[in-house]
Amino acid sequence: MLRLAEGDEVDAADPAGSAWRLRLVRVGPSSCTAETVAAAATAPPAAGPALVLLQCLPKGAKMDLIIRQAVEAGVERIVPLVSDRAVARSEDGGPRLERWQRIAREAREQSGAARPAVIEPPVRLDDAVRRRLEGTAVFHEDPAGGSPLHEILAEAEEPLAVLVGPEGGLSPREAALLGESGFRRAWLGEGVLRTETAALYALAAVRTIVRERKAWRPSREG
């Protein structure tokens, strides 16, 4: 943790992602006041591909962890989904949403993410899919009918919308609906991942592949 005192200068970013050099004028136990010195000499790191996470609601407090990790991974929008096999609670749209938004702010401050993350209220999976019309990838536990992630992302346009199912998996009805809406099925490989692990795994894979897309080289057979 940084130990800063009044008069110290520090680089910071505003909600729009602009970088500034600040001078601390007052430091308190839980907050501080700063004045702008100038635009920061060093620009903030590139934000990377614009990512949207559509996450089916898991049990308990797992969504807290998913939001924290997703924001640290550079996600700019998170849409909690009520799916056929997800467990939704009545408070998901009230105090719990406020907690998620606070967790997102803290995660951005800790990680230095270039983009602020928007946490939307929970919505039915069907409604979210119809509202967006098209998606990028749905991470499914069944490899049948799936495509390599490089192939899915080769021509994908931003923002990249990725969907991760709940503990019980997506229902056949939901899988069919997503396919009709432009989401292509991707598989994370052998082994069973917890939904909170699958979300981070998927986001990291998508962000890395897209960031390095221009450096891809065709394989030479034979």
Confidence of residue 17 (pLDDT cuts 50, 70, 90): low
Residue-level pLDDT at 103: 94
Mean pLDDT of the chain: 80
* Residue 55 pLDDT greater than 60, yes or no: yes
Confidence of residue 88 (pLDDT cuts 50, 70, 90): low
Rank 19-33, 70-84, 143-157 by mean pLDDT and report only the highest. Answer: 70-84
Confidence of residue 91 (pLDDT cuts 50, 70, 90): low
Beta-bridged to residue 184, according to DSSP, are 137
- What number of CA atoms fall less than 13 Å from residue 28's CA on the CB side? 5
Beta-bridged to residue 22, according to DSSP, are 10, 36
pLDDT (tens digit per residue) in 141-197: 666 667 888 888 887 887 888 899 888 888 999 988 988 888 888 877 777 788 888
What residue ranges define each of the domains in the chain, with the CATH number in brackets? Answer: 9-39 (no CATH), 51-214 (3.40.1280.10)
- Mean pLDDT calculated for residue range 94-109: 89
CA-closest candidate to residue 160, choices 136, 178, 139, 131: 136
H-only helix segments in the chain: 62-72, 95-111, 125-132, 149-153, 172-180, 195-211
Tokens of 2: 């940084």
- Cα separation of 27 and 48, whole Å? 33
- Mean pLDDT calculated for residue range 9-14: 68
Rank 9-13, 125-129, 188-192 by mean pLDDT and report only the highest. Answer: 125-129
Residue-level pLDDT at 120: 93
Q: What are phi and psi of 217, to 5 degrees?
A: -130, 135
Residue-level pLDDT at 1: 41
Contact 124, 82 (CB under 8 A): yes
CA-closest candidate to residue 202, choices 157, 152, 168, 158: 152
CA-closest candidate to residue 156, choices 132, 179, 178, 137: 137
Residue-level pLDDT at 192: 75
- Mean pLDDT calculated for residue range 86-96: 68
Residue 221's Cβ-count burial label (10 Å; 0-12, 13-18, 19+) is exposed
Q: What is the DSSP letter of 135?
A: -
